[in-house]
Amino acid sequence: MPRYAYVNGQYLPHRDAMVHVEDRGFQFADGVYEVVTVQDGRLVDEEGHLNRLNRSLGELQMASPMASRTALELVMRTLIRRNGVVNGIIYLQVTRGVAPRDFRYPSRTKPTLVMTTRHMDLNPVARLERGVAVITMPDIRWKRRDIKSVALLPQAMGKQMAAEAGAFEGWMVDDDGTITEGCSSNAWIVTDDNVLVTREPTTRILNGITRQSVLRLAADEGIGFEERPFSVAEARAAKEAFLTSATTYVTPVTQIDGETIGDGLPGRLARRLRQAYWQYAAGDHADVQAAKGP
């Protein structure tokens, strides 16, 4: 089946998709992005992701790439359908556009909009049965982590460091010794009193859309939670730990920096929230197959 990408109003064969050499996303990382999961042909947490996209654009004084959200949603569904994605992701990237290279924002540019899709296994059984390992590392990012910017070099370096250590993810540590978040996920622990703990949403972290949904589900399930910083030592001594993201949902963490968490098996609350989120994701979301368009 041919694979397509969407670039500035055109559905193109993936191999032919490209942007201009002076696109500011390429030269300055002057852009933002979102990743939306597709589960059983349905977009998961679509509204939250598109709301955050608009927020990121606003924080960078960047124009919306399309006239309306309805138009954007139609393009998303059309691309998903063209690529036959039943389980996977759609990636959206918006940059300030093409302009002669200058650090200052250009006064007149048209934003660049790129979308791609990928098929994925959303329920990796072996990983969920064993849990995953993470390592900690210094958080060397800029101070506006709440903006979902394409400036991801520190995260790429962290992911490489984790991979070389045989870990699934890196948890980044601020100058005060507290864990901020993962390179591409939010970090969680469970106390001995079965209270969930995750960092509060400030400019120090990206307020994950999956994170927000998990907090709502925890409240619905009667699970207590706190939004506050926690140290590396507290994480290593936690009863449970897990991470959340759009592509991993709720994934148990069973090892931090080589130290076993709890009994070394995925924890009860992590498994419970994973199941709750899976059922939520399969629920009342926009049906891709119902989309109209070319």
* Active-site amino acid positions: 148
Strands 31-39 and 240-245: unpaired
What are the CA-CA distances from residue 113 to residues 90, 95, 106, 273 (Å)?
13, 7, 17, 34
Tokens standing for residue 162: 């984790």
Whole-angstrom CA distances from 266 to 123, 146, 178, 260 are 15, 29, 23, 11
Q: What's the CA gap between 200 and 222, in Å, rounded?
A: 19
**What does 253-273 look like in DSSP terms, one character per residue?**
EEEETTEEPTTSS--HHHHHH
**What phi and psi values does residue 63 have, to the nearest 5 degrees?**
-75, 155
CA–CA distance, 134 with 257 (Å, rounded to integer): 6
Q: What b/e sequence results for 40-61 when a residue is b if at least 16 CB atoms lie within 10 Å of its CB, and e otherwise?
A: ebbbbbbebbbebbeebbeebe
Bridge-based pairing state of the strands 186-190 and 179-182 = unpaired
